[in-house]
Amino acid sequence: MRNDSTIKLIFDEMFKTKMLKEANITTHILFAFIFIAIFSKLIFSGIQTNDMYGSHGPASIDIMSYIIILISIVSIIFLNTMINDGANNNNVNIISFDMVILVSYLLWLIYINMRHFKRLNMRKVPSQYFIYSNLTIYVIAAQSLFFAVQYILLNDVYTNGIIDENKDFFTRLNFINYIFMFLNFLLILIQQIILEYFSVDII
Domain map (residue ranges) of the chain: 2-197
Measure the CA–CA gap between 200 and 195, rounded to whole angstroms: 9
Going by the DSSP 8-state scheme, the letter that residue 57 receives in this structure is S
Kindly write down the DSSP assignment for every residue of 115-166, as one continuous string. Answer: HTHHHHHTT-S-HHHHHHHHHHHHHHHHHHHHHHHHHHHHH-TTTTTHHHHT
3-state secondary structure (DSSP) of residue 107: helix
CB proximity list for 187: less than 8 A, separation 6 or greater: 132, 135, 136, 139
For each of the chain's 203 residues, which pLDDT tens digit applies? 555 566 555 545 555 566 666 767 888 888 899 999 999 888 887 777 776 777 788 899 999 999 999 999 888 888 777 666 655 555 455 567 888 899 999 999 999 999 999 888 888 889 899 999 999 999 999 988 888 877 776 665 555 566 667 677 778 888 898 999 999 999 999 999 999 988 766 54
